[in-house]
């Protein structure tokens, strides 16, 4: 990822207010409470709202992002909530996660550059235990229509960074699908996710 990406997110997360709020994503909140507590990874975790929520439930939490400002805010939020998270800064290939290290991986609005997003999904898959769970929510390709009507809902404006059901099926082909849908939802997350948008939601269990 180039410096433009890092600079963009450092600028967004460098302000005092939390860009997407301090509370967890609603879909993650609902799905995580269905699972037995274990080890979980949050890629592209930003300011830590989801990682801190999982830690409060008793999960052993790892996270990473390219933004050092995001990490600072995440540690600030973790301290405020009296929990501990392992949060690293860098790109996925620089992380030192182990094969089958995690019981769950949560991809919440983890919009990676288009040319690496499938590779990232396939790499992350190697870190998940057999029988482990992926929880995914991100903007669908239809979301461009919603963003054009209301920029406050947020999300990438590059179609290739957005997701389709078919892409998720291809990237997570070795999973049993618990839930997979394209859905219109209303977001109220901090400064940058406000309004009606279109998302892909996926919960899958890695086959043994």
Q: Indicate the number of domains in the chain.
A: 1
| Structure confidence at residue 121 as a pLDDT band (50, 70, 90) | very high
Question: Quick one: average pLDDT of 182-202?
Answer: 98
Q: Residue 4 has what pLDDT?
A: 87
Of 132, 144, 195, 204, nearest to 168 (Cα)?
204
CATH code of the domain containing 53: 3.40.50.150
Q: Residue 5 has what pLDDT?
A: 87
Q: Residue 1 has what pLDDT?
A: 64
* Residue in the structure block whose two tokens are 């057999």: 130
| Domain housing 165 | 3-206
| Structure confidence at residue 142 as a pLDDT band (50, 70, 90) | very high
The reported pTM is 0.97
Q: Residue 198 has what pLDDT?
A: 98
């Amino acid at each position: 990822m180039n410096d433009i990406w890092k600079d963009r997110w450092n600028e967004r997360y460098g302000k005092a207010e939390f860009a997407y709020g301090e509370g967890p994503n609603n879909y993650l909140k609902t799905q995580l409470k269905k699972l037995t507590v274990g080890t979980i990874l949050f890629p592209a975790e930003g300011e830590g709202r989801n990682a801190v929520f999982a830690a409060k439930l008793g999960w052993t939490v790892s996270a990473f992002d390219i933004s050092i400002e995001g990490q600072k805010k995440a540690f600030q939020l973790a301290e405020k909530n009296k929990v501990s998270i392992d949060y690293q800064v860098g790109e996925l290939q620089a992380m030192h996660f182990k094969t089958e290290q995690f019981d769950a991986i949560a991809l919440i609005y983890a919009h990676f550059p288009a040319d690496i997003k499938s590779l990232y999904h396939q790499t992350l898959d190697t870190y998940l235990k057999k029988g482990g769970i992926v929880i995914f929510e991100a903007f669908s390709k239809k979301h461009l229509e919603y963003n054009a009507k209301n920029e406050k809902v947020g999300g990438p404006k590059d179609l290739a960074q957005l997701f389709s059901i078919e892409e998720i099926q291809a990237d997570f082909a070795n999973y049993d699908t618990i839930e997979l849908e394209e859905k219109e939802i209303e977001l109220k997350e901090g400064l940058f996710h406000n309004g009606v948008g279109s998302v892909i939601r996926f919960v899958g269990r890695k086959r043994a």
